[in-house]
Each structure stands twice: as C-alpha cells, then as structure tokens.
Amino acid sequence: MRIEILNTGSELLLGTTLNTHGRWFGQQLFDLGLRVQRLTTVPDGDAIRDALAESVQRADVVLVTGGLGPTSDDITREATAEVLGVDLIEDEAAMRSLEAFFARLEKTMAPDNRKQAQVPVGADVLPNGNGTAPGIYVPPRLNGAANCAVFLLPGPPRELYPMFKAEVVPRLRSLGGIEESGERILELKMVGVGESDLHQAVDEPLNQVEGLEVGYCARLAEVDLRLIGKPEAIEKGRALVMARFEEDCFTDDGSELEEVVVRTLAAKGLTLATAESCTGGLISNRLTDVPGASEVFTHGFVTYANEAKVNCLGVSEDDLAAHGAVSEPVVRQMAEGALKESGADIAVAVTGIAGPGGGTDEKPVGTVFLAVASRTGETRVHKRMHLRDRKAFKRTVSQNALDLVRRELRHIS
Amino acid sequence: MRIEILNTGSELLLGTTLNTHGRWFGQQLFDLGLRVQRLTTVPDGDAIRDALAESVQRADVVLVTGGLGPTSDDITREATAEVLGVDLIEDEAAMRSLEAFFARLEKTMAPDNRKQAQVPVGADVLPNGNGTAPGIYVPPRLNGAANCAVFLLPGPPRELYPMFKAEVVPRLRSLGGIEESGERILELKMVGVGESDLHQAVDEPLNQVEGLEVGYCARLAEVDLRLIGKPEAIEKGRALVMARFEEDCFTDDGSELEEVVVRTLAAKGLTLATAESCTGGLISNRLTDVPGASEVFTHGFVTYANEAKVNCLGVSEDDLAAHGAVSEPVVRQMAEGALKESGADIAVAVTGIAGPGGGTDEKPVGTVFLAVASRTGETRVHKRMHLRDRKAFKRTVSQNALDLVRRELRHIS
C-alpha cells in the first residue's frame, strides 16, 4: 500500500512550529507493516490543493493533517472537495458532535465553528473527542480517477492521536492493502554507553546477521539501537547486543526511562523522593508524566536557592560556605535530607551549573554532582561534566539521575 | 523566489528520528525575506530522484538535505546528477577537504569516504568544517530546462547550520531573487482567550486591513495570532487586537510564558515559590528553563503525597480529610504555606486530577484548583476543568498557573 502524508499549516514553514507528525506517523504505520512513501508540508492556501492533487495520483492512501479549524485560513475541507470534484454539505452527525463538545465544556459555540461540520458528500465523519474539528474519511470510490483513499485529520497531537487509533487504523485494515511483511522493529534503548563505543562493539557482528537492518540514534544521554528484520534475525541481533550491554539496556518495548523507573518501583513496592537544584523539577516532572506515579513518588524538593537546601533538606550552611552548592558534601546531604524528610525508600539528588552564567575556573558551566541514597545501602555520589546548552544540560542530568535510580533498584529486591 | 526543501532519509519516515529542518529553514529563510513553498521528505533510494525531478520543475531554488554520507544508501549525489543530466567527477578540492577533516581527527580515511568527493561537473564544492560530507551547489545554468538552483547539504544540524550560513546565504543573495519585500511577522501570543472567541472578535476587522495576512495557531491554553505584512499594516492590526485583548497578550517577541514571568519578576525585584501537586514539577521545570531563573525562583515544593502537603507546606490534615486533596481550602493552604516556608514574594499552587485514574463523580478527572498568594494582596483561588490526556493536562495547568502569576504581577509594582 503506497501511503503519503500531507501536513498543512503556514506555521510549519515559517519557523514558528516544530512538525512532529513525520516521526509519529512513521512509528504508527510501521507497526501496521506500512512505510511512508512521502511526507509533504505546505503552507495554508492554494498549495494544499496542488499538493493533494499530486499525492492522490501517486498513493493509495493520503493522510492530510491540519486546516480543519474554524478560522479563515482553514481550507483543507474546501481544497479536498475541489480536488475530488464533490460538493460540501453540512453533516448532522458532525454538527451534533460539535455541539456536544461545547456542551461538555459548558461553553457557547461560536458561529464560525459551524463550518467545521461541512463535509464532502458521501464522506464519513470521524468523531473528535478532544477538540472541535471532526475528521473526514473519503473512501477511494469517491475519487474514481485516482482510486485513492483520503483522510482529513486535525493537526494538534492530542486530537490526532486518538482519532488515528480509533478511526483511521480500522479503515486502513479494511482497505486490505496491509501486507504482513513479517518484518519487525526491535529498539534497544541504552543509557550509560556512548554511540561510537556501542557501534565499535556490535556493528560488525550485527551486519553479519542475514536479513538484519541496523540503525543507531544518539539522543541526550541515550543511544537507541534499531534492528529491523524477521523475528529470527532480530533475536540473533538482540543476543549479540545483550551479551555485552545488558546492564545498559533499559528497555526493548519503547518505554521512556521514567516509565521503567516508575514501573520498577511499583513492582518492588518502593517509594522515591527527589531533591533537585540544577534540573529545577525536570526529574519529578518526568516521573509524574507516568500514570500511576502517585503510588511511588511522594516528595519532590526543588531547592534552587541555598536557603531552600538548608531549610527543606537540612544541608549544612558551613558545607555550603566551604564547598559551594555544587559539591560532593552538598549533594550527599541533599539526597540524605530528602530521604529523611520524605520517609521514602530511595532519594536522588542533583546539583550543578546549567549555565550560561554561574561557572568558575574550578567549577565550569556543565559541572554536576549526583547522589542516590537508600534505606538499605550506602549513599553513592557521582560527578559528571556535560557541555550542552541549558535545556539539553537539564535533560542530560535528568537521564543520569533516573539511570542512577534504575541501577540502584537492581540491587534492592 | 520560489524555494523548496527536500529532506532525504529513511529514518525520518520510520518514526525513529524527529525532523527539525522545517522549523529551522523556515526561520532562516523568512529572515532573508523568503518563504518555503513546500517541504518534501522521502526515504533513501529512488524516491529522491523522483521528488527532486518534480521540485526543480516548480521551484527557483531547491535545498536538499541528507544522503551525502559514505554508505551505500547515500545516493543524493548520484540522483542529482541523473536528474540534471550531468556526470559526476572526483573533485580535488573536495578530496583535500575530506583529507584535512580526517587529519584533524588524527584518523585514517576509509576507502568508502572517497565517493564523498564526487560532484556533478561544473558544480561548486561547499566546504564542511564539521563533518566528512562536503556540500554541493549546482547553479541554474547547469539545469537548463528547469532553470533551478540546487544545493546539496548534509543532514546533521551541526554540519548543516554553519554551511548554510557561510555558503548558502551568500549564493542565495547573489542569485538576485531575494527581494526585500519589506514584510515582517508579528506574533501576538495570548493566554486566557479561546481561538474561536479571538477569531470571532478580530478576524473581520483584521481582514479589512490592506496587505495584512492573518493566521491563528491554537496551542494548549494559548493562542498565537500571526500577522504578516508591511510594518504599517502590522501596526494597524496590532492596534485592533490590543484594543480588545491587551490583558491576554503576554508577548509580541516570541517569548514563552515562563520567560515573560521570569523577566517580569526580575524587573520588579520579586521572588517566586511554587507548590505543585498534579503538575509534578512542570511549573518549576519551565521556570528554570529560563537563564537567570535562579535570581527570582527559590523554592519548588512538589507535594505529590498528602503527607508532603502536610509536612512541607503545613496543609491541615483535617481539611485534607474533609475536602480532599483537590479542593479550595487545600490549594489555598498550599500557596500560603509555600509563601511562608520560602520567604518568597509570590507563591503559586496547583492541585488536580491528571488521570487516567483518581477521578470521582464529584471531582472527575480534569478537575484542578489553582491559587496565587502574595505578600501584598489576598490569596486568589480558581477552579478549572480540562479534558485532556495526562501530559496535555499538566501542560495546560502549568500555563494557567504561570498566567495567574503574570496577571498577579500586573498589580504589584
């Protein structure tokens, strides 16, 4: 099945908005055994019509996103009707769905929203539980010349993702073009090993496994190794990698590191507290992104100021004066203070210099100390140096911290 | 000047890599007075040749990224030569640049890298100071039929960005197609007003301003209104919008809400503390993404468990039992407790039900209470309801909270 994606929206090409649809659709469609043939991004306006007219000639299915809103630059419905040579009519089901959405929010519907209930004659309306724009499915028979199925979908991820899963996937399956290639992707996500070291160690043996496609993706304090092939080839590849890097591999199921940490804590019946300086709450934010975090995460101390470290965590003022806030004794006292104040089983603490200001000759921007304390073992302290911009620094340190907790949990039953 | 971008790379469509080129090129080219007409992403292989052949027919300039590496799936050079009908030859300057790169790393060049010195006859080699792949510029005269200029550029940002600035920008200027259009973008970012209400109020008058292009982008608890035109038209549009929505507009310079809050606090010499339950540290994380946050942000309390609310913030156990953690008295005590414990000038608190679990009939998932307390005024409490998934809920509540602080700061000199 030849499948193309058409993303509409001037904001995607004016440099104001990052387009994440390519990655997301790629993942979703690969899981269905499909590979995206082309992704086209165009600004609002006539370009939508031109690009859609070309795509329907090349593809069996076109997924169009954006331009379904209530405003004057939202013209995807109109452009599609024009390309397919059909009329638009106000759809009753779509109108009811719009009215229900506003009723749930206890708001009055603006007159401009009415146009969102316009659909090409003969098309299906795809309900939107998370926004005002209903999706639209135009089956191939309505588009005789090209024989191409067209889906019009909302741009915002919180509306697009559930609609794709509930409405698009079943229709793709019923179009019958999904061939079972038998290929799978295995993604082994690692933390604590560098991309070139991993490559050096495993690339040659992996490339000798017949029918195995290998890819590497270096992220911040993480390397994702991608194996594509039939199950037998993938399992050979997995065994090769795990023989060397089992301790560094935190998941093979696409989980984020914070999900692995929350799941492991829950499985062991343990609780965690955090004491953050330079990461400013990013570690607790990541932990609480995981549903069920409230069962394992109790207290987060964002002790940005020195007084906060003293008052909330009992860090010694003398040590702060003698060693500075970014030091071994301070991070140790932060972790142990968080453990004591929270009553949790494990506490992790970080303090560092995110920059751009605040560095010294002795402790340049990028210096960070991490500590993990637990009820059952000795407090472990680590020093690292990361030369990254502020946000990337925070992300990297949060990876280091979550990984320390993950490794600590291996020793606690 | 009609300009298109062609991104090549299977990883961009397999769901493993996020393509950030659209946003970056959009910004760079708009600053030159150019707008991207289309961005096409294709996998490695024959699709590159097909897409390039189409682009050179539509555009005056095509910027191609990726596929210039040493491996067998890097075929952008070959595809370009085929589309343009010219031969590839080994270029001496490109070979010297490759050799110099390996010399700097004190490594031996692999034989595979030789193909990176192959360029179409008559093309310019664009030096790459940060990687092995030289760029290539094919002037329009080499591509007679289409009269289109083609740039082949490396994919990795650290190689692409400096090459674009040093080698591509001057050539775009010398192509003479960069007209100083005199157009500018004004982006008015709003919080506290819905997209359709904004549209209803301003769209008609804005569309009556001659030479003004208007666009709307709805984000989570934020609407960005984009005005494009000559300065005079933009100022007319701005005045129309600000007459109605001055209080809701938090910036016209592209700042994030957290940057506005940190800057305003700094300008007024005030400090802020946060007390977060359902956002789990996202508010403090956003604040500390801003350089200089340490001057205004002192304490963040992530009181996820009830005991944390009691122990760290002095919330009454009786009120927790009587009203529940998601309630008016609890959020009020969280804000006032954070103010007292931290000694800050302002404190903001949130408590809510992020879901998917934890909802009740009386307090369904999505319920949230927010409070802002200050040294100088009464504590204000708000109740909201947001029907969103967990991460979107957290983001929305963090917007609400930062906006409460922003509005509170308007009353404090």
CA distance A368 to B42: 41
* Closest of B1, B10, B301, B7 to residue B179, by C-alpha: B1
Half-sphere exposure of B384 (CA within 13 A, CB side): 24
Instruction: Please tell me the predicted confidence (pLDDT) of residue B357.
Output: 83
Confidence of residue A179 (pLDDT cuts 50, 70, 90): low
The pLDDT of A328-346, averaged and rounded, is 97
The pLDDT of B334-359, averaged and rounded, is 94
Q: Do residue A12 and residue B26 have CB atoms under 8 angstroms apart? A: yes
Tell me how close the Cα of B265 comes to any Cα of chain A, in angstroms.
Answer: 16
CA distance A259 to B411: 42
Among the residue ranges A170-179, B369-378, B400-409, the one predicted with the least confidence is A170-179
The pLDDT of A335-340, averaged and rounded, is 98
Question: Are A166 and A159 in contact, with CB atoms under 8 Å apart?
Answer: no
Question: Are A188 and A255 in contact, with CB atoms under 8 Å apart?
Answer: no
CA distance B43 to B24: 20
Confidence of residue A355 (pLDDT cuts 50, 70, 90): confident
pLDDT, one tens digit per residue, over B219-254 is 899 999 989 899 999 999 999 999 999 999 999 998
What is the side-by-side strand order in the sheet with B367-374? A380-385, A367-374, A346-352, A272-276, A297-303, B297-303, B272-276, B346-352, B367-374, B380-385
CA distance B153 to B350: 47
Length of chain A (residues): 413
Confidence of residue B177 (pLDDT cuts 50, 70, 90): low
Q: Do residue B15 and residue A30 have CB atoms under 8 angstroms apart? A: yes
Q: Do residue A289 and residue B54 have CB atoms under 8 angstroms apart? A: no
- B27: nearest CA partner in chain A: A15
Quick check: B72 pLDDT over 70?
no
Q: Do residue B281 and residue A301 have CB atoms under 8 angstroms apart? A: no
Instruction: Please tell me the predicted confidence (pLDDT) of residue A180.
Output: 63
Predicted complex ipTM: 0.78
Instruction: Please tell me the predicted confidence (pLDDT) of residue B397.
Output: 98
pLDDT, one tens digit per residue, over B306-328 is 999 999 999 999 999 999 999 99
**Percent helix, percent strand, percent coil in chain A, to nearest 5:** 45, 25, 35
The pLDDT of B181-205, averaged and rounded, is 90
Instruction: Please tell me the predicted confidence (pLDDT) of residue A240.
Output: 97
Q: Which positions in chain B touch A299 (Cβ < 8 Å)? A: 302-305, 308, 312
Confidence of residue B145 (pLDDT cuts 50, 70, 90): low
Which residue intervals of B32-119 are DSSP H helices?
46-58, 76-84, 92-104
Q: Which positions in chain B touch A156 (Cβ < 8 Å)? A: 218
Q: For residue B111, say if its preceding peptide bond is cis, omega within 30 degrees of 0.
A: no
Instruction: Please tell me the predicted confidence (pLDDT) of residue A361.
Output: 86
> SS3 for A359?
coil
Tell me whether residue A174 is exposed, middle or buried, using C-beta atoms within 10 angstroms of its C-beta: 0 to 12, 13 to 18, 19 or more: exposed
Facing residue for A291 by CB, picked from B194, B287, B356 = B356
* Closest of B284, B301, B327 to residue A342, by C-alpha: B301
Quick check: B158 pLDDT over 70?
yes
- A51: nearest CA partner in chain B: B38
Tell me whether residue A76 is exposed, middle or buried, using C-beta atoms within 10 angstroms of its C-beta: 0 to 12, 13 to 18, 19 or more: buried
Q: Do residue B14 and residue A158 have CB atoms under 8 angstroms apart? A: no
- A39: nearest CA partner in chain B: B41
User: How far is C-alpha B138 from the chain's CA centre?
Assistant: 31
pLDDT, one tens digit per residue, over B371-399 is 999 999 899 999 999 988 899 999 999 99
Q: Do residue A18 and residue B15 have CB atoms under 8 angstroms apart? A: no
Facing residue for B38 by CB, picked from A40, A274, A289 = A40
For A186, phi then psi, to 5°, come to: -115, 125
pLDDT, one tens digit per residue, over A253-263 is 989 999 999 99
Q: Do residue A217 and residue B308 have CB atoms under 8 angstroms apart? A: no
Confidence of residue A140 (pLDDT cuts 50, 70, 90): confident
Which of A8, A39, A326 to mutate against chain B (most B CBs within 10 Å)? A39
- Top pLDDT among A355 and B303 is at B303
Q: List the domain boundaries for chain B.
A: 3-174, 184-251, 257-410
Domain B257-410 CATH superfamily = CinA-like (3.90.950.20)
- Top pLDDT among B9 and B288 is at B288
Write the CATH number of the domain with boundaries B184-251: 3.30.70.2860
The pLDDT of A343-355, averaged and rounded, is 95
B117-121 long-range contacts, CB within 8 A, separation 24+:
B117/B90, B117/B91, B118/B77, B118/B88, B118/B89, B118/B90, B118/B91, B118/B94, B119/B77, B119/B88, B119/B89, B119/B91, B119/B94, B120/B77, B120/B80, B120/B81, B120/B84, B120/B86, B120/B87, B120/B88, B121/B86, B121/B87, B121/B88, B121/B89
Facing residue for A298 by CB, picked from B194, B305, B342 = B305
Give helix then strand counts, H and E, for chain A.
Answer: 14, 17
Average pLDDT, chain A: 91
Confidence of residue B119 (pLDDT cuts 50, 70, 90): very high
Instruction: Please tell me the predicted confidence (pLDDT) of residue A144.
Output: 62
Instruction: Please tell me the predicted confidence (pLDDT) of residue A105.
Output: 73
Q: Which positions in chain B touch A9 (Cβ < 8 Å)? A: 217
Question: Are B336 and A333 in contact, with CB atoms under 8 Å apart?
Answer: no
Quick check: A84 pLDDT over 90?
no
Of the candidate CATH numbers 2.60.40.740, 3.40.50.300, 3.40.980.10, 3.40.50.150, the domain formed by B3-174 belongs to 3.40.980.10
Instruction: Please tell me the predicted confidence (pLDDT) of residue B375.
Output: 94
Confidence of residue A107 (pLDDT cuts 50, 70, 90): confident
B179's CB contacts (< 8 A; 6+ apart) are B1, B33
Confidence of residue B105 (pLDDT cuts 50, 70, 90): low
Among the residue ranges A385-389, B103-107, B404-408, the one predicted with the least confidence is B103-107
Which of B32, B190, B288, B334 to mutate against chain A (most A CBs within 10 Å)? B288
Quick check: B293 pLDDT over 90?
yes
* Closest of B17, B300, B370, B364 to residue A105, by C-alpha: B364
Instruction: Please tell me the predicted confidence (pLDDT) of residue B22.
Output: 87
Q: Which positions in chain B touch A224 (Cβ < 8 Å)? A: 16
Facing residue for A304 by CB, picked from B24, B214, B299 = B299
Facing residue for B16 by CB, picked from A110, A215, A302 = A215
Instruction: Please tell me the predicted confidence (pLDDT) of residue A198.
Output: 87
Facing residue for A303 by CB, picked from B15, B28, B299 = B299
| DSSP per-residue letters across A127-145 | --TTSS--EEEE-GGGGTT
- Top pLDDT among B302 and B14 is at B302
Among the residue ranges A106-110, A313-317, A333-337, the one predicted with the least confidence is A106-110
Buried b (16+ CB within 10 A) or exposed e, A116-151: bbbbbeebbbbbbebbbbbbbbbeeebbeebebbbb
The pLDDT of A79-90, averaged and rounded, is 90
Question: Are B281 and A302 in contact, with CB atoms under 8 Å apart?
Answer: yes
Instruction: Please tell me the predicted confidence (pLDDT) of residue A177.
Output: 62
CA distance A50 to A356: 46
The arrangement of secondary structure in A3-175, i.e. its CATH architecture, is: 3-Layer(aba) Sandwich (3.40)
Instruction: Please tell me the predicted confidence (pLDDT) of residue A129.
Output: 82
Facing residue for B298 by CB, picked from A47, A104, A304 = A304
Confidence of residue A407 (pLDDT cuts 50, 70, 90): very high
Q: What is the dihedral of CA A206, A211, A217, A218, to 10 degrees?
A: 0
Instruction: Please tell me the predicted confidence (pLDDT) of residue A173.
Output: 87
- A46: nearest CA partner in chain B: B37
